[in-house]
Structure 1
Amino acid sequence: MPRLDLLTANDRPGAYPESWYAATTPLLPPFPALAGAVEADVCVVGGGYTGLSAALHLAECGFDVALVEASRVGSGASGRNGGQVHSGQRQDQDWLEGRLGPAAARTLWDLAEEAKALVRGLVARHGIDCDLRDGIVAAAHRAAYVPAYHAEAAKLAQVYGYDRVEPLDAAGIRDLLGTAAYHGGSLDRGAAHLHPLAYAIGLARAADAAGVRIFETSRVTAIGAGARPEVRTADGAVRARFVVLAANGYVGHLVPAVSARVMPINNFIVATAPLERMPLAEPVAVADSRFVVTYYRPSADGRLLFGGGESYGWRFPADIRALVRPRLAAIYPDLADVALDYAWGGTLAITVNRMPAFQRLAPNVLSASGYSGHGVAMATLAGKLLAEAVAGTAERFDVFARIPQPAFPGGAAMRWPLLVLAMTWYALRDRL
């Protein structure tokens, strides 16, 4: 794996990327950098959804919490993703039942339902203005995939009591999405989508109000061991009884036990100019069946926020618009020449089995990461489960921690080349 620094390879430290999200969100004033020695009950490393949720829930339980963020809160994947609040886990219920058993699959379904409810509850309780709207379409780019979507909708209703998923045939999905690019799919009216950076900023504001001490532009250089591990930065240190690691794709070489199982990958989004006519008949989000997923949704100001495109290097391409535009034109030919007012990239994290990696790195050091594209809801829930585990109730954290989470093959030297080969193959297969 190249020893390129993902925190600085594509971004300016201490600044949000130039995205439509950043341009349309009232940002918080900068929090101070960590300087000198600080004592706390819990030190949270990372200011995305996982870390902010953990810090907020811990503070509400009475813990003294210090959160240390390398850049700005919400400036990583949490502030630049597709904003989709999915039902279920990244793997479907058939996969979970086959590998973990029906009981565990049911528990994981129930936790995913709680994750969606938690997002909605936090938005309502803290008055977070993030344009939360219902509905995600799963779109089949091949006709052969449609029966599986319809069978899943039936199973969720019959076995799991979840009747919010509507099967869509070719005509139904064409009328809903305004494109003939898909052969069918389903509409999950119990799922949702939101403005991801506004949501992250809202969590940070709530955590700050709850008493969390937030330190920005404070990159962690080492995490010690022992009864009170020390979290060190260039200019300070936090000594705490517990450490919560919430760095996701930006963990780098800080904790090898995490980076061996959590692979950073880049993805890209454009925002069109405001459209005279939105092609979607309803303001739903869309994620299609490609391995390299194409995803999009309408914005509150009449744009189409369109994401997709694979990148086989740590650095973002020089021209993100040129990378994403052909994918937009393939689905909406009428938008082939539309102005793309914003274009940005982000670094998310995947795991080998696409399930999140919950890890006990030491009795008092816990980590959660690797949400594989399902991070808005699951990372928010992960923060709550991390807080529960710190408070002494770890049963729900352990539901995820017990899922076998293999390391990427080949070790540090080979995992990146092997991922490039795999992604190249799947991207080719998507186009066949």
Structure 2
Amino acid sequence: MTYPATWYAETRLDRAERPALQGSHDTDTLVIGGGLAGLTTALELARAGVKVTVLEAQSVGFGASGRNGGIVSASYACGAAGIRARAGVEGAKRLHDLSVEGVNRLRSHIDEFAITGAEPVKGLLHLRRFDQGADLRAEAEELAAEGLPVTYLDAGAIRDRLETTRYYHGIEDAQAFHIHPLNYLRGLARAAEGLGVRIFENTPATATDFGISQRIKTPKGMATARRIVIATGGYTGPLFPRLQKAVLPIATYMMATEPAPDLLAEVIRTPMAVLDDRRASDYYRVSQGRLLWGGRITTRAASDRAVAKDLHRAMVEVYPQLAGLKVDQAWSGQMGYARHRMPQLGRLAPDLWHITAFGGHGLNTTAIAGKVLAEAILGQSDRIKAFAPFGLDWAGGRLGLIAAQLTYWGLQAQDKWRERSSPKL
């Protein structure tokens, strides 16, 4: 299967193709899904000497794992208040610590496995488009007191970095960074293979046979394993109905502009990535002289032409001076969202595990979730219990998708009202 036409695909360094599974194949652990969650889990199990096989329906990184914004920061899709409401103060602290560990683990993977083409670019500006900043200042001061490299920015400090009047307040996070996600993921696949993991591409799971041993049928073969890990994210199908009912496939969008290094250097005077705090954030970064811009969510993927038009309009709202900058490519992809907007990982049944629903925050959270799941499978720790408050809640099916879209439109309207009510800078 050809990888979707994205700027990441054009600039990926590893173009290795892997065979489809044919005939019978025996393994200890079978991972279904060759995205960040599946490959990280496979790698961590292989470190312990476990024989692991990965089945990928398309090519590794085909889904959101290889098409995302590339921003790595210590966060989840669910906000801090929502996490505390379910997990309590101490539970929220444990989850935050795991998120920070995920950022560090991803960075260490790049160094440990010498993954080229995914070198981290330091920093993230998390900005607000309306004039209320007391909470951001307090948050920055609290994090700085804990020793984290976080700084509050007022409108003037933001203008020193970005030539726009759209942002009123913000936080500069020097611990966060951004990368080329597809180069990272393919480097992770090579590292897993170096530890003995077998990866089969173009090998969708077509049927299951669970019993004393676990069997997965594919178009041209069958894999038998002691245990199975399901890591299918936003592309979870009816083969695993309980998971499918707990995950909403939400489409998100990105574009890459034509090269314009001189113009972009005048307007965006920082190598850091930028993320605003709208309900479906705009996020962007400059890479190789192009502006990569993402945002918007829908419950059904739009055409590339519509994506390009919508994201170009969003870019020009913030930077009118970029109105003449053309879009070279635009694309969409499906993320897996749980109703509670937190990752879902755990055990469905004896020897049947799942790791899914990273909701647009998958880079750092898969890096730690895959490690935590592997520890649970191997009996090395019970850190997986931190995610127990966030189980397989029913996502609502078709009605859930409709509700998600209506909710998003309502929140968009709130964003616009707050922005229009703020004084002009």
Question: Fold conserved (TM > 0.5)?
Answer: yes
Equivalent position of 2:209 in the other structure: 224
Equivalent position of 2:18 in the other structure: 31
1:366 to 350, 353, 366: 353
2:99 to 82, 92, 112: 112
For 2:285, the aligned partner's letter is R
Equivalent position of 2:272 in the other structure: 284
2:185 matches 1:192: no
Equivalent position of 1:134 in the other structure: 122
For the Cα contact (< 8 Å) 1:89–1:108, is it kept in 2? no
Deviation at 1:93, TM superposition (A): 3.8
Distance in 2, Cα, partners of 1:404 & 1:43: 22
Distance in 2, Cα, partners of 1:104 & 1:408: 23
**Residues 103-158 of structure 1, C-alpha deviation per residue, up to 9 Å, x if partnerless?**
212211211111011001100000112031111111101112x2222222122234
Deviation at 1:188, TM superposition (A): 0.6
Q: Equivalent residues in 2 for 1:28-427 (5 A)?
A: 28-129=15-116, 130-144=118-132, 146-158=133-145, 161-275=146-260, 276-277=262-263, 278=265, 279-299=267-287, 301-314=288-301, 316=303, 318-409=305-396, 412-427=397-412
Any gaps of 5 or more consecutive residues in structure 2?
Answer: 418-425
Distance in 1, Cα, partners of 2:245 & 2:138: 35
For 1:20, the aligned partner's letter is W
Distance in 1, Cα, partners of 2:230 & 2:166: 41
Instruction: Say if 1:102 and 1:95 are closer, same or farther in 2 by CA, change over 3 A.
Output: same
Equivalent position of 2:421 in the other structure: none
Distance in 2, Cα, partners of 1:222 & 1:247: 15
Instruction: Say if 1:67 and 1:405 are closer, same or farther in 2 by CA, change over 3 A.
Output: closer
Any gaps of 5 or more consecutive residues in structure 1?
Answer: 1-13
Using the size of structure 1 for normalisation, the TM-score is 0.91
- 270-279 vs 123-132, which moves further: 270-279
For the Cα contact (< 8 Å) 1:140–1:289, is it kept in 2? yes
Distance in 2, Cα, partners of 1:226 & 1:402: 29
**Residues 254-304 of structure 1, C-alpha deviation per residue, up to 9 Å, x if partnerless?**
2121122211111111111122232222201111111111000110x1111
For 2:238, the aligned partner's letter is H
Which secondary structure state, in structure 1, belongs to the residue aligned with residue 8 of structure 2?
helix
Distance in 2, Cα, partners of 1:380 & 1:306: 24
Deviation at 1:405, TM superposition (A): 4.9
Distance in 2, Cα, partners of 1:59 & 1:404: 27
For 2:380, the aligned partner's letter is T
Distance in 2, Cα, partners of 1:295 & 1:418: 24
Distance in 2, Cα, partners of 1:398 & 1:23: 40
Distance in 2, Cα, partners of 1:312 & 1:88: 23
**Residues 183-238 of structure 1, C-alpha deviation per residue, up to 9 Å, x if partnerless?**
11101101111000010010011111111111000011233322311122121111
Distance in 1, Cα, partners of 2:347 & 2:128: 38
Deviation at 1:311, TM superposition (A): 3.1
For 2:275, the aligned partner's letter is A
Distance in 2, Cα, partners of 1:87 & 1:108: 10
For 1:355, the aligned partner's letter is M
Deviation at 1:307, TM superposition (A): 0.7
For 1:294, the aligned partner's letter is D
Tell me the C-alpha RMSD between the 2 structures.
Answer: 1.7
For 2:9, the aligned partner's letter is A
Q: Number of paired residues?
A: 413
Using the size of structure 2 for normalisation, the TM-score is 0.93
Deviation at 1:92, TM superposition (A): 4.1
Deviation at 1:73, TM superposition (A): 0.5
For 1:48, the aligned partner's letter is G
Deviation at 1:177, TM superposition (A): 2.2
2:7 matches 1:17: no
Instruction: Say if 1:57 and 1:104 are closer, same or farther in 2 by CA, change over 3 A.
Output: same
Which secondary structure state, in structure 1, belongs to the residue aligned with residue 328 of structure 2?
strand
- 400-409 vs 222-231, which moves further: 400-409
Instruction: Say if 1:224 and 1:151 are closer, same or farther in 2 by CA, change over 3 A.
Output: farther
Percent of paired sites with the same residue: 36
For the Cα contact (< 8 Å) 1:311–1:317, is it kept in 2? no
Distance in 2, Cα, partners of 1:386 & 1:328: 39
Which secondary structure state, in structure 2, belongs to the residue aligned with residue 249 of structure 1?
helix
Which secondary structure state, in structure 2, belongs to the residue aligned with residue 337 of structure 1?
coil
Which secondary structure state, in structure 1, belongs to the residue aligned with residue 217 of structure 2?
strand
Distance in 2, Cα, partners of 1:382 & 1:240: 22
